[in-house]
Amino acid sequence: MTTAISPRRSIMDISLYKGGDSTVAGQSNIVKLSSNENPFGPPDAAKDAVARAVHELHRYPSTDHASLRQAIAEVHGLDAARIICGVGSDEIIHFLCQAYIEEGGEVIHTEHGFAMYRISTLANGGTPVEVKERERVTDVDAILAACTDKTRLVFIANPNNPTGTMIGQAEITRLAEGIPPQAILVLDGAYAEYVEGFDAGAAMVEARENVVMTRTFSKIYGLGGLRVGWGYAPTAIIDVLNRVRGPFNLSSPALAAAEAAVRDVDFVARCRAENARCRDWMANALAELGIPSDTSTANFVLARFASEAEANACDDHLRSEGILVRRVAGYNLPNCLRITVGDESACRRTVHAIAQFKAGNV
């Protein structure tokens, strides 16, 4: 039987997103380093906020997220009126594609960029344009060369996932100044809190009309299970995005937890410091095993192996030891494994298992 019912053509070009594995058959003592989660979980204040919120589950949540937006604004020194909240930063990305892509409009992302840029582009009828990076670092010249009169959005993650690399303010400024007048530069700052003193582009948003910043509570704040993100944008763009945002897109427990989390600046500082310590130790230990990685500014290390076969074999060995990391062939990095920075015990267990693999003692 045939049917005339069909989706938008570009949707069938979307490959289903595959998250990091959480289980291994036959293994119970799992170390999950596949999803860039905070090994310390959320701050106690966020847990307490959720516990209190359960008493109001029969009430609809806030439609304007005013309390959370004000908390974000106070902590980061921003204008609350220019903040929008979403179901993770993924939803802010989707709002931008929904609002600004006309049929056939082009959206630029880098070859190792976050998968949701391509997915949201195709879901909204746009044309994704993938540009090369330079040694796993965003190449501003390549992006500018790819721009056309059809370019509507330019996405870069800074720091980038899954490479962990980032570019400096001068390059970001050059990019913002060089894109076409009809285009918006979107700075994805999901890992910004792991970089000491980094504003992730907030000052550029305030100085320009063509820059948007996105952030998330899923990483350093440990709230991935509640799905909260936010964006900072010029007033005109915020007005547009709020027109496509659902009125009750965030639950009351999620809003309460995020507000408590963002105000706990001491928790963030402790997590940042411990992540840096364990990340640097793990990167150095892997290098001593002959496994290089670029200097990471996030909460993971991208371990580079001699070949795809070696990377996959190492991953198989880690899984047999109950250690889950992330294969990133889908990000055009088939010879790499992305390893989240866990607590010290998890990092040492992982490096020990990789050392066994490299020595052939498996």
Do the Cβ atoms of 277 and 317 come closer than 8 Å?
A: no
Mean pLDDT over 212-227 rounds to: 98
Taking the CB of residue 254, how many other CB atoms lie within 10 A of it? 24
Percentages helix, strand, coil for the chain, rounded to the nearest 5? 45, 15, 40
Beta strands in the chain (DSSP E): 31-32, 83-86, 106-110, 127-131, 151-157, 184-188, 211-216, 229-232, 300-304, 323-324, 326-327, 336-340
Q: What is the per-residue pLDDT for 33?
A: 97
- pTM of the predicted model as reported, rounded to 2 decimal places: 0.93
Q: Residue 1: pLDDT above 60?
A: no
| 212 touches 187 (CB < 8 A) | yes
pLDDT at 11: 83
Condensed to tens digits (0 to 9), the pLDDT of residues 300-339 reads 999 999 999 999 999 999 999 999 999 999 999 999 999 9
- Give the model's pLDDT for residue 360: 85
Is the confidence at residue 129, as pLDDT, over 80? yes
Confidence of residue 362 (pLDDT cuts 50, 70, 90): low
> For residue 199, how many other CB atoms are within 10 A of its CB?
18
pLDDT band at 9 (very low <50, low <70, confident <90, very high): confident
pLDDT for residue 145 is more than 70: yes
